[in-house]
Chain A
Amino acid sequence: MGFLAPWFLAGMAALGVPVFVHLLRKHVTTPRPVSSLMFFERGVQSSTRHKQLKYLLLFALRAALVFLIVLAFADPFVRRPAAGGAGRLLVIALDNSFSMRAATHFADAKQQALATLAARPHDSPAQIIALGGQVQLLTQAIGDDAQLRAALLSIQPGDGHANFGELGRALRSIADTTHRPIDLHLFSDMQRTAMPSNFADMVLPPTVRLTAHPVAQGASLANWTVESVEAPAELSDPKDPRRSRVHAVIAGFNTPAATKTIALVINGKAIASRKVNVPPNGRAAVEFAPLDVSYGFNQCAVRIEEADALPDDNASVFAVRRSDPQRVLFVHATDDTRSATYFGAALSAADRASFILQSMDAAQTTDLDPSKFAFVVLSDVLALPSIFEHALAQYVAKGGRVFIALGTHAGRRAQIPLWGAAVLDTRESIRASGPLSVGQVDFAFPALAQAQPGRDNGGWAVVRVFYASTVEAGQARVAARLADGTPLLLDKQLGEGHLLLFTSGLDNLTNDLPLHPVFVAFIDRLAHYLSGSERLSGAALVDSFVQLRAAGEPVGAVSNVEVIDPDGRRALSLSEARTIQTYRFARAGFYKLRYPNGQDAVIGVNPDRRESNLEPLPPDLLKLWSGSGSSAPQTTAAPAPGEITNRNLSLWWYVMLLALLVVLAETAVASRHMGTQREEV
């Protein structure tokens, strides 16, 4: 017998309370007046006898009550022999990441997991975890064999990327909630790429004993994969040699030199193939041009024709949408002719865009319908016809996007059209104090996105701004600021759409941006962002998210979204379709989406290519990990059935029950004594 919280035994000092009350406290007697003591004689009862006898039963009960309560807090337990590691929680983690599709890895791992589950002592608690793109706790810690087995059998190979860091985090959470030692049995191919960047993330708590069951024994398997594909998401002219091409990289992991046949598949038909020599453990590029696709969405793939250890990663899918060039409405002031020139030149020079610019004076826009344009640019417009301004507001609310550039007329406006705020100040003094440069650029903003901006601030450092307006940012996102902190580019969501505000102009009077190369890239990405084409087609990775509707949008205010998974089934329930904001691509294949504004999209989803490298963890690293949780590292099979261990059986409940009985007895006895005392008075 022992105590789980022995320090509570210090509470036994409380036993002194009933001892003091019953045995040590001086007996207090209230004097009683009498007429005369003539016939009385002094007589003192034996104090010892008095103290011992009076309320002896009550004293015993009270002392027992204190003793039992203290004992209950100390949480006594007795050791009972139990078979097969009972008292420890068995956690079975089965890896169902994409790499487990290689050879018979997954089937082997599941078979071993089932054997381990069957070998555990009957009714001892166990928990099943699926380790895929996300760590899924399929059961609680239960002893029901059938339920545990069913949970294990329900695990199917997935397309996600396993991460041992996520597993370590989940185990730390389980160890925090369950107060018993854990036996973790991990059935996995122990892929090296599943390691987190920081080893500390995968360190297990001290109470967790890891038993690794690597299913990929021996040397790692040779595997080729289509590592990356560069293809236009939107294409207006298949004969455009600059844009109508597909560039793919074929990579081999633990592979010898080989010649591979690479095919371009469009809508299920292989329309072209190339032979490529892939060096040992190396990469080779292959290009298909032109990309002859039909109008609408085209489901394309680059495929390695020869099979290998992991055939599922031999194809990389992507979607290409062919459409006519989209029109862009450029509204400018009457006296502004330069802006449209610079903007149109940059737009036509852009890589990915296929837009036709339609320039128009603000006064001529009365009868225009903005919904016919991919996006609208308002360049230094002093005032808009009210009909057109209203139409523009409706257009933005339904998902349209408008780019507003303020020019030299900014100071004369009462309010910026559509934006809803006034210009606080015009920085004409910039001319006096010298031009300002662009100080901060948010390269995470889609219209300014750059993978690795250089020292020149992505090319923005050389830009000089002579004239800018100061606008209250409010709820808008500031994507770029001038050196003095003045917001240069702001993005504000309005309904389903977006408004972008450029506080300087698009001509070379207010800044010299149109004269720098960064202007073309900026306009290219800006057009891409404003037209929304970046989310209508292309490719994505498994476990990545797509935003289906804007955050904060009132539920039910717009129509439903729709997601069709690669099997052609609706992935969302009706209630989810009305409320969901983002969706996680759980599987590889083509997803068809319909946004609230009615736009359709097709996204090709591919597994994370890190899963294609089947190289397992080095043994020393695996040993280090196994030893991180306990002092007895173990990489063997399941514990021998019938192993005799001790189990601690807590007596807390029984002690409290006994204390309750003592409380009842003490109440009865005390009330009897108190009744006697009242009679005395």
Chain B
Amino acid sequence: MLQRFLDPAVLAGISSLDLLAKTVVDGFVAGLHRSPDFGFSQEFAEYRAYTPGDDLRHVDWNLFARTERCYLKRYRGETNSQLTVLLDASKSMQYTSGPPSKMDYARFIAAALFYLAIQNQRDAAGLIVFDDEIRDYIRPSTRPGQLARLFAGLEHAEPHARTNFARPLQHFRNSLHRRGIAILISDFYEDPETVIHEIAPLRFHGNEVILFHILDPEEIRPVMHGPALLVDLETEQRIEVVPDYARTTYRSRIDAHIEQLRTRARAAGMDYQLLLTNRPLDFALREYLALRQAEN
């Protein structure tokens, strides 16, 4: 089972990146992800004026002695991160025009991320599988066996019902005790406004939120040689569609949807990445990690 998700070729592609190499050489679990919080470590960050209620232990008394002003001294903290993958297991993820299906592709990405986080960065990793409600929840942890549990959770994640982001994200917010990275993997067949509206609160709590948008190539450029009867995998609704529409209007609408999702995600401070199931897995991860490195 492990081999299914841990394709050596995929991992070899990821290991070549500089950030990962540096983490491995230092032998330090922390360092790959900079903590978004200010902590108490060795690296000075700034001074801040004292306000009533601040912990007096953080006051720089030397500065107060010289200037008679009360400032707090702040350091940049480095901590272990916490990765939570929210995997959309709605029926629409079943779609495929050729292997792998979107669901399998999402599993591969999640597995690769888990391995990266747990084995290489000693991060805590957790999984939430959802459709219109929470199907599986594995609390983030670094305990031994966590990786196997996560893989098992991925293995048992089967597409069921429709997508509804509200309830799983509410559950995520309730169970969140530490800030970390939240990766949402879905095909996002929802109004971008609604999607961002549901996800934005995660960002407000200081989490890094990344959206992986999984689509099949045929969903972007559908091929039709004649009128076809299309069946919605989630609602079972049927409509007859003519090839002309698929060639023109549909393409413009799906392109607009992707662009709108990307724009709104960026505007809300979230990362967005479109992944097509015919593209190499390592390529997608490498692109994402390079994006993270540039941001750091």
Contacts and interface: CB of A to CB of B under 8 A. Distances in A.
Interface in B235-250: 235, 237-242, 244-246, 249-250
B24 to A, nearest CB: 39
10 contacts: A29-B229, A34-B95, A34-B233, A35-B93, A35-B233, A36-B232, A38-B257, A42-B240, A50-B227, A680-B226
Contact of B240 (A34, A35, A44): A44
A41 interface: yes
Interface of B: 92-95, 102, 187, 189, 216, 219, 222, 225-235, 237-242, 244-246, 249-250, 253-254, 257
Contacts of B237: 37
Contacts of A44: 227, 240, 242
Contacts of A34: 95, 219, 222, 230-233
With most chain B CB atoms within 10 A of its CB, the pick from A43, A676, A680 is: A43
A50 B244 CA distance: 14
A45 interface: yes
A426 to B, nearest CB: 101
A32 B250 CA distance: 16
A680 B216 CA distance: 18
Given A33-B95, A45-B242, A39 B229 contact: no
A27 B240 CA distance: 12
A55 to B, nearest CB: 12
A30 B92 contact: no
A40 interface: yes
A33 B218 CA distance: 12
A593 to B, nearest CB: 91
B216 A40 contact: no
A679 interface: yes
Contacts of B253: 39
A31 interface: yes
A37 B230 contact: yes
Nearest to B234: A36
Nearest to B216: A35
B250 to A, nearest CB: 5
Contact of A43 (B225, B226, B240): B240
Contacts of B254: 39
Interface centre among A27, A35, A38, A50 (most CB of B within 10 A): A35
Contacts of A40: 230, 239, 241, 245-246, 250
A38 B231 contact: no
A31 B232 CA distance: 10
B231 A31 contact: yes
B233 A41 contact: no
Contacts of A43: 227, 240-242, 244-245
A45 B230 contact: no
B228 A29 contact: yes
Given A33-B94, A38-B257, A43-B240, 19 more contacts: A32-B228, A33-B95, A34-B222, A34-B230, A35-B94, A35-B233, A36-B232, A37-B230, A39-B250, A39-B254, A39-B257, A40-B239, A41-B245, A42-B239, A42-B240, A44-B240, A44-B242, A676-B225, A679-B225
Given A39-B254, A680-B225, A32 B231 contact: yes
B95 A29 contact: no
Nearest to B240: A44
Given A39-B250, A40-B250, A43-B242, A30 B234 contact: no
Interface in A1-51: 27, 29-45, 50
B239 A35 contact: no
B60 to A, nearest CB: 57
Given A39-B254, A41-B249, A29 B227 contact: yes
Query: Lowest 6 A-B CB distances belong to which pairs?
Result: A35-B92, A36-B189, A43-B242, A35-B95, A39-B253, A42-B239
Contact of A35 (B189, B238, B245, B246): B189
A33 B189 contact: no
B215 to A, nearest CB: 8
Contact of A31 (B94, B187, B238): B238
Contacts of A36: 92, 187, 189, 232-234
A37 B244 contact: no
Contacts of A38: 189, 257
Contact of B219 (A30, A31, A35, A679): A35
Contacts of B229: 29-32
A40 B257 CA distance: 13
Contacts of B232: 34-37
| Most central of B238, B241, B245, B250 by chain A CB within 10 Å | B241
Interface string A643-681: 000000000000000000000000000000000100110
